[in-house]
Amino acid sequence: MSTPSYSLFCLGNPLLDMQVRDGEALLKKYELKANDAILAGEKQAPIYDDLKQNHEITYVAGGAAQNAARGAAYVLPPDSVVYTGSVGDDDLAEQLKIANKREGLSEVYQVIPGD
């Protein structure tokens, strides 16, 4: 078995963006601002279950390095970009892998069991 070779290797902190349509009521309910980024506090903690139960979610791979890797994967030949970072062993990590595959980005994550 041969070792894969990539033209571009990216390393960073992988994030998973969750997008919903018509989310104005969610913004108000959880005291959020449109196009803002915050660390979720106690007030925002229930939003994740609310999203899963009541909304159609589009998952998008995010984080600065992963965004750059996705952009490069659009313009470089297939299978020439790989991204690596650390994720938990959960459903959201699986959603992240699906999002990357959809966009043609190869990933090799360090999976932390129990996170």
User: Are the C-beta atoms of residues 20 and 29 closer than 8 Å to each other?
Assistant: no
Nearest-angstrom CA–CA distance, 82 and 10: 6
- CA 71 vs CA 4, 38, 48: distances in Å: 20, 24, 27
Instruction: Between 114 and 21, name the one with better pLDDT.
Output: 21
Q: Which two tokens stand for residue 92?
A: 């959201």
pTM of the model: 0.79
Q: Supply the DSSP symbol for 57.
A: -
Please state, rounded to an integer, the average pLDDT across all residues of the chain: 91
The pLDDT assigned to 99 comes to 93
Q: Across 1-115, where does the E strand assignment appear?
A: 8-11, 15-19, 58-62, 81-88, 106-112
Instruction: Kindly state the average pLDDT of the residues 87-97.
Output: 93
Question: Which domains are assigned to the chain?
Answer: 1-16+62-114 (3.40.1190.30), 21-56 (no CATH)
Buried b (16+ CB within 10 A) or exposed e, 23-62: beebeeebebeeeeeeeeeeebeebeeebeeebeeebbbb
Residues 18-56 have pLDDT tens digits of 899 988 999 999 999 988 888 889 999 999 899 999 999
Q: Tell me the C-alpha distance between 109 and 115, whole Å.
A: 13
CA 45/CA 38 separation, integer angstroms: 12
